[in-house]
Amino acid sequence: MSLYRGSVLALGATLFAVLAGTIVFGEAQRERYSLPLNCAPGEDCFVQKYVDVDADEGIADHMCGRMTSPEHTGTDFRIPPGASADVLAVADGTVRRVRDGQADRTFVGPLAVPDGVGCGNGLAIEHADGTESLYCHLERGSLRVAQGDTVARGDPVGHVGASGLTEFRHVHLALRRDGRDIDPFTGHARGRAACDVPGSALWTDEAAEALAAAEGPHVLALGFHDRPVTIPAIEDAATVGSVTARSDALVAWGLAIAVEAGDVLSLTADGPGLSVDETHLVDRPQAQTMRFVGRRMREGVPLGTYRVALSVSRNGEVMASRDATLTIR
Ligand SMILES: [Zn+2]
């Protein structure tokens, strides 16, 4: 607490309520949360959105970045297209509510779910300190718990899906206490403290360490298709055609997340009859961005192995990179 008393005094009375709230909660009794997925952040899952801490019309995550959306109440843990992961209880508790049976697919275009089911399939767990953890967008039919069940930290409760209002496969984890959404990265109630007010994370040490190591841009996915693809098409893998020797084009694509203005994205693709690259200077912060390079191949795609690589550089340093290969037989 002494660490941020200085900022409270400096910023005056408006922040007193935040400080008082924190004292009432009490550091000793406050629950600590582990990750809501069995995954390694930065490798096979990624924080795509944080809580929107901006109380006004703008958006801001707790680091004053833009990795959030207006009024976003939780933290979105995203998995790459086509991947799957168990959703885990973030602490010991009792299941208070469950919902299943909602369609499980990412939406494209106008929002097409009934009011009140934006969360899709999900559940709420009440913890010993009275905080509730809410998990949204689970795969239909994957819930393994029922109302009233007791769960332990780390217990699998379902699978990551794309039910409710979501453009990508992820679990939305929200923490709610006394009717307020709490940002697990600071412990502050949403909208009650500006993004530059230091707080105290509610993660377990292990989760905090993994999350800190995974900050920054990432290459979420990359591959080849026979035409340019969209992010929704990548998420909904069934709608994307695959490349064969008879395809008349070969398009390499890569999807990067959490890029900042000034970052340089470099996409290269090579193989028999193909050697193309593209460099792109990012002009504004973007939660996700897709790049393409490719070529028409009117005689079909030559047999052999093709390689695609995408890197994200910041101030001349490579922050993230991945590559993948495709063999046409
Ligand atoms: Zn969310």
Cα 175 to middle of ligand 1, angstroms? 12
- Return the pLDDT at 78: 96
| pLDDT tens-digit map of 116-153 | 678 999 999 999 999 999 999 999 999 999 999 999 99
Residue 15 and residue 100 in one domain: yes
Cα 181 to middle of ligand 1, angstroms? 12
Where is 23: in which H helix or E strand?
A: helix 16-25
Cα 55 to middle of ligand 1, angstroms? 17
Residue 240 and residue 165 in one domain: no
Cα 317 to middle of ligand 1, angstroms? 30
- Residue partners of 95: CB distance under 8 A and separation at least 6: 123, 124, 125, 145, 146, 147, 148, 149, 150, 151, 157
- Return the pLDDT at 115: 57
- The answer to whether 243 and 90 are in contact (CB under 8 A) is no
Residue 178 and residue 83 in one domain: yes
- Return the pLDDT at 36: 98
CATH no. for residue 309? 2.60.40.10
Cα 268 to middle of ligand 1, angstroms? 32
Give the domain range for residue 256: 218-328
Where is 235: in which H helix or E strand?
A: helix 231-235
Residue 107 and residue 190 in one domain: yes
Residue 109 and residue 250 in one domain: no
DSSP E strand boundaries for 66-146: 75-78, 86-88, 93-99, 121-126, 132-138
Residue 207 and residue 260 in one domain: no
Residue 94 and residue 203 in one domain: yes
Residue 107 and residue 256 in one domain: no
Residue 152 and residue 68 in one domain: yes
Number of domains in the chain: 2
92 vs 128: CA distance, rounded Å: 8
DSSP E strand boundaries for 100-202: 121-126, 132-138, 150-151, 156-159, 170-177, 180-182
- Return the pLDDT at 240: 61
105 vs 162: CA distance, rounded Å: 5
Cα 1 to middle of ligand 1, angstroms? 29
Cα 40 to middle of ligand 1, angstroms? 19
Cα 76 to middle of ligand 1, angstroms? 5
Residue 177 and residue 300 in one domain: no
Q: What tokens appear for 223 in the block?
A: 């591959």
Of 168, 194, 213, the last residue of a domain is 213
Rounded to whole angstroms, the maximal C-alpha distance in the chain is 72
Model pTM score: 0.86
Cα 170 to middle of ligand 1, angstroms? 8
Cα 297 to middle of ligand 1, angstroms? 41
Nearest Cα residue to 207 out of 42, 30, 29, 22: 42
Residue 106 and residue 232 in one domain: no
Q: Is 235 exposed, middle or buried (0-12, 13-18, 19+ CB in 10 A)?
A: buried
| pLDDT tens-digit map of 214-261 | 999 999 999 999 988 888 888 876 556 689 999 999 999 999 999 999
Which residue type occupies 163? Answer: S
- Return the pLDDT at 20: 43
Low-confidence ranges of the chain (pLDDT < 70): 1-28, 106-116, 237-241
Cα 263 to middle of ligand 1, angstroms? 25
Cα 247 to middle of ligand 1, angstroms? 38
Cα 282 to middle of ligand 1, angstroms? 24
CATH no. for residue 61? 2.70.70.10
DSSP E strand boundaries for the chain: 46-49, 75-78, 86-88, 93-99, 121-126, 132-138, 150-151, 156-159, 170-177, 180-182, 218-225, 249-259, 264-271, 274-281, 286-296, 304-314, 317-328
Where is 18: in which H helix or E strand?
A: helix 16-25
Of 156, 185, 213, the last residue of a domain is 213
Cα 311 to middle of ligand 1, angstroms? 26
- The answer to whether 48 and 30 are in contact (CB under 8 A) is no
- The Cβ of residue 198 has, within 10 Å, a number of other Cβ atoms equal to 12
Of 191, 213, 235, the last residue of a domain is 213
- Return the pLDDT at 234: 84
Residue 161 and residue 279 in one domain: no
